[in-house]
Amino acid sequence: MSALTIAFAYVVGGMIPLTPYIVLRAVHPAFAWSIAATVVALWVFGYGKGRFTGSGPARSALQTTLIGGLAAAAAYLIARIIS
């Protein structure tokens, strides 16, 4: 059951940055919306994590957004270098 839950979470989480590319036809606006949706999702998930774990929600939201944003930026840069 836990493997199915993790798989579902990966699919749902992966759809957040991909949805703008599915909905919009132009790549550049989709890229901007994808970044915005990802930042908002990271903040919301971090805030929720902070609420559920008892740590400060605002601090947790900031940490999750910064770390997730840095990871996404690194992945983007690596992909640009490789391609």
Q: Is the dihedral of CA 78, 63, 2, 21 positive or negative?
A: negative
Q: Domain spans of the chain?
A: 2-82
Q: Which residues contact 58 (CB under 8 A, 6 or more apart)?
A: 47, 50
Q: Encode pLDDT of 17-73 as tens digits.
A: 999 999 999 999 999 999 999 999 999 999 999 999 999 999 999 999 999 999 999
| pTM for this entry | 0.84
